[in-house]
Amino acid sequence: MTANDVVEARDLLPKDGLGSSSAYVVADFDGQKKRTSTISRSLNPVWNESLDFVISDPNTMEYEELEIEVFNDKRMSNGSARKNHFLGRVKIYGSQFARKGDEGLIYFQLEKKSVFSWIREGPPPTEQVIDNLHQPQMMMSEEPPPQQPPPMTVQMEHHPPHYQNHPGSPPPPTTNYPPEIRRMQTGRVRVMKRPEQENYSPRVLPTRRSSTGEPDQRIPAYDLVEPMQYLFVRIVKARGLAPNESPYVRIGNSVRSKPGVPKPGEPPSNPEWHQVFALAYNKPDSANDSTLEISIWDAHSENFLGGVCFDLTDVPVRDPPDSPLAPQWYRLEGGDDPNAAGRVSGDIQLSVWIGTQADDAFPESWSSDAPYVSHTRSKVYQSPKLWYLRVTIMEAQDLQIAANLPPLTAPEVRVKAQLGFQSVRTRRGVMNNHTASFYWHEDLVFVAGEPLEDSLILLLEDRTGSDPVLLGHVLIPVAAIEQRVDERPVAARWVSLEGGPGGSYCGRIRLRMCLEGGYHVLDEAAHVCSDFRPTAKQLWKPAIGILELGILGARGLLPMKSRGGGKGSTDPYCVAKYGKKWVRTRTITDSFDPRWNEQYTWQVYDPCTVLTIGVFDNWRMFADMAEEKPDFRIGKVRIRISTLESNKVYTNSFPLLVLHRTGLKKMGEIEVAVRFACPSMLPDTCAIYGQPLLPRMHYLRPLGVAQQEALRGAATKMVAAWLARSEPPLGAEVVRYMLDADSHNWSMRKSKANWFRIVGVLAWAVGLAKWLDNIRRWKNPVTTVLVHLLYLVLVWYPDLIVPTAFLYVCLIGIWYYRFRPKTPAGMDIRLSQAESVDPEDLDEEFDTFPSSRPPELIRARYDRLRMLAARVQTVLGDFATQGERIQALVSWRDPRATKLFIGVCLMITIVLYVVPPKMAAVALGFYFLRHPMFREPMPPASLNFFRRLPSLSDRLM
């Protein structure tokens, strides 16, 4: 049972014709509707009534919604109203409820039902709430819920949260505010309890159900997200308007178009707009809400030029794939203003329809929840096509080398190659004294992006002296370089050098150049790569399936900026990246619980790839900012496609986690629905697992690890520069965060995480060794006897050893089927060592390169790193020692030990020739499993012998 106390309301809109309202409240929770009594003729009514609701499923309480609407009772109004007037509404999520004893008094701002609604948005109350830096919410306590949960009370009141942070900086952690009990100036008590342990695991979202209790199956073609109703208005043009200077269109009272501009040669009275508006829409509740007014105004004089009215109940509904609604001409009217009748003339061409976010016009429309059109629209981006440019520097001839070199001094000639911001220098050239030529035969690899507009610059430098001397240069357009898709040889060519006195001949250089289309240019970290296709399209294989992503929304986001009056706000948008395709949702302005409900698809060529989803706070939407600030990251989630079952919809809520200098911080949660549409066990899909991960050229002519990482950094920079030129731009900070550009930077935390990963991998071997040791010690005699019997069977029938081992592995796999993951895995803070990370380690991880810290701190970090490196050095030395002792068995470094080892081997050979192998195996196995009463407590002789063997450690200096 849940109880909600409706206390009071303030500054309601007068609706009864007498300057007041007779208000009552209707609360709707999970299909149950309850109503309060009507307070007659008061703009500040006080109810103090409790509304009780039955909770059908306490486990899904967090995802339920309580909708509260305030109406004016028509029976107490002056006049004949057909319907009760709508005064405002509030939506409260289950995550904002509190248990009994933790309740508090909260003021909520009444919201409009649609863009055409008119409600009171008066000044906030005078009391101030010192809150944790978040939107008002009541947090759940950590006690486990009983079978019948106790009543939970929410007393509704609204206060704007009070924020201390300056614009642009994330709020400080809530733990900086020690008291758990916050008091308002009126003396009322508000209890805020943060859970001791956050839940950072993904959670399954329940299937949304209609009021009848059945699953909601609307819009099958757009089935991963919830449909959102919008009223679309397409303003095309007008003709024959009254004289004006700059006309614009106004929809309702709050939506305004851009100024109309006539076509060249057309008179000013025929302006054109070609603009689409998408306005949040709900079914009208009264006659006042069922009218749409579209009017034209002069921007300079604000003169009314005419308008058109539509009855919303007659507006057609468009469901894709219906064709777009054709615009029509409508006669402009002057309304009830007698003075405007003389100025009104002309027609306007427009179309009005009702649709959802699946409508074709929605991505390019002005949306009521994303008003800054240029920087808040949903967009699809494409990464540039990247090539590896391989340049082989072979030799150079006829170079003008200085003749006054010291005796026995060979000139140091190097080639410096530049492509855009990339620069590479060869090693020192080898000189042929007979022909005065220099040889290198060295490969230089660059990243080139389409369109291939850059030029490759080669500089020959004589670096014999202290100052380099330029011997010549050559400029080669990249578009003129040959492309290849396999390992076929490319012909070398001689290129004349320029830069001599007066542009004269100063030598020539022999080159072999090609654009490699058989490689995949890595721009992501290898462990989270979303695409492995080569650059050349003719090498691509057919897609094996479709990846569908529904970005539903986010909950509980933290305020990232402050607006006027210290009010915290967040303008979130979401970015998803898979393969070459990037998608960006629209920006929901000033919302901590945005609902995007946008759906996107990608073609999948390899299931062993990763989808990355990130949430950011939009700062570039403010065009009047003095300086451009980067968009702040709120968190990201990765989903590996191979972990998804075919044709199954996963609807989950993932925590958004960000690691700051101050520690780990949960920024909220993102709700997504994902489906991998693919034939379950098609031969082509299964064959993918037996094919190489990277294209063929990566194995025929592999790139070095360090070289490939340097090329990845260049590719990341090129992708960021390319997407920054789009409109709206996708910031470099967004691209680098999505591509994990800093994944290989030094971090003590990551080193610890990798160490514990290795320990986890070896845990099975450790467990097997412990189990075998328990068998040898006869801790469980029954198990040990069974092992003896199994050993006898395997020795007597050795053909059963291999099939028994595979059968055992098969049984293990079947046993672990019951523990298979039911949801895609999110970020693991325990695996990342982010739960208990030391602040000093975090400060070192977020330090710049080179370091910006004082020398004393850098010295302390260096000393600590030396201590850790000494431990690693010792472990590596121990591994090397064991291997060298194995080599010493037959290397005669210890003549006595080698003689003993050879003698024992000869004795074992004779015994095995005489004794049947099965008898020898049984004897050795039973000797190994003998009872502890027959064992010595000291190490065996074989182990003592091995430890006495010499290694090379005594030869180290």
Q: How confident is the model at residue 440 (pLDDT cuts 50, 70, 90)?
A: very high
The reported pLDDT for the residue numbered 624 is 54
Which amino acid is located at 642 in the chain?
S
Of residues 646, 596, 580, 637, the one with CA closest to residue 614: 637
Residue 867: what are its φ and ψ, rounded to 5°?
Answer: -65, -45
Quote the pLDDT of residue 432.
Answer: 79
Residue 365 neighbours by CB under 8 Å, 6+ apart: 232, 276, 277, 278
Give the model's pLDDT for residue 285.
59
Q: How far is CA 677 from CA 534, 540, 639, 657, in A?
A: 24, 20, 15, 29
CA 52 vs. chain centroid, Å, equals 40
Q: What is the pLDDT of residue 536?
A: 92
Q: What is the pLDDT of residues 717-748, one digit of tens each?
A: 999 999 998 888 898 999 999 998 888 788 88
Cα separation, 753 vs 925, in Å, equals 39
Query: Could you read off the pLDDT of 306-328 as tens digits, one per residue?
Result: 999 998 888 999 877 778 889 99
Q: pTM, whole model, 2 decimals?
A: 0.74
N-to-C CA span, the chain? 77
Summarize the confidence of residues 889-896 as an average pLDDT.
88
Amino acid type, 327:
P
Q: What is the mean pLDDT of the chain?
A: 80
Pairing of strands 386-397, 508-516: antiparallel
What residues pair up with 477 in beta bridges, in sequence order?
455
Edge to edge, the sheet with strand 32-35 lists: 32-35, 23-29, 65-72, 85-93
To the nearest 10°, report the CA torsion of 463, 464, 468, 473: -60
pLDDT at 893: 86
Strand ranges (DSSP E) for 736-819? Answer: none
Q: Are strands 413-419 and 422-425 parallel, antiparallel or unpaired?
A: antiparallel
Question: What SS3 class is residue 433?
Answer: coil
Return the exposure string of 923-937: e unless at least 16 CB atoms fall within 10 Å of the residue's CB, then b: eebeeebeeeeeeee
H/E element holding 332?
none
What are the structure tokens assigned to 892, written together?
A: 């005669």
- Reported as a single tens digit per residue, the pLDDT across 634-649 is 999 999 998 898 889 9
Which of the four pLDDT bands, split at 50, 70 and 90, describes residue 151? very low
| Contact criterion met (CB below 8 Å) for 103 and 188 | no
**What pLDDT, in 10s, does the model give residues 926-942?**
888 888 888 777 888 88
> Confidence band (pLDDT; 50, 70, 90) for 114?
low
Domains detected in the chain: 2-96 (2.60.40.150), 229-368 (2.60.40.150), 386-402+410-516 (2.60.40.150), 537-739 (2.60.40.150), 758-826+870-955 (no CATH)
Confidence check: pLDDT of 785 > 70:
yes
Backbone φ, ψ for residue 515 (5° rounding): -95, 115
Q: Write down the pLDDT at residue 408.
A: 64
pLDDT in tens, 31-84: 888 899 998 888 889 988 888 888 877 777 776 788 898 988 887 776 656 677
Q: What is the predicted pLDDT for the residue at 191? A: 31
Answer whether residue 297 shows pLDDT above 50.
Answer: yes
Per mean pLDDT, which of 164-168, 172-176, 544-548 is the most reliable?
A: 544-548
**Quick one: pLDDT at residue 170?**
40
- Give the integer Cα–Cα distance in Å for 854 and 858: 6
pLDDT of residue 466: 77
Q: Per-residue confidence at 180, pLDDT binned at 50, 70, 90?
A: very low
Residue 501 pLDDT grade (very low, low, confident, very high; cuts 50, 70, 90): low
**Residue 441 pLDDT greater than 90, yes or no:** yes
**Tens of pLDDT, residues 801-853:** 888 888 888 898 899 888 888 888 888 888 888 877 878 888 778 777 788 88
Query: Token pair of 48, please?
Result: 């103090």
For residue 229, the SS3 value is coil
**Confidence (pLDDT) at 130:** 27
Residue 668's DSSP bridge partners are 656
Contacts of 434-437 with CB under 8 Å at 24 or more apart are 435/397, 436/397, 436/398, 436/399, 436/401, 437/395, 437/396, 437/397
Q: Give yes or no for a contact between 401 and 750, defined as CB atoms under 8 angstroms apart.
A: no
pLDDT at residue 600 greater than cutoff 70: yes
User: What percentage of the chain has pLDDT greater than the value 90?
Assistant: 27
**Cis preceding-peptide flag for 803 (omega within 30 of 0):** no
Pick left, alpha or beta for residue 895 (phi over 0 → left; psi -120 to 50 → alpha; otherwise beta). alpha
Pair 26, 45: CB distance under 8 Å: no
Nearest to 476 by CA among 463, 488, 489, 493: 493
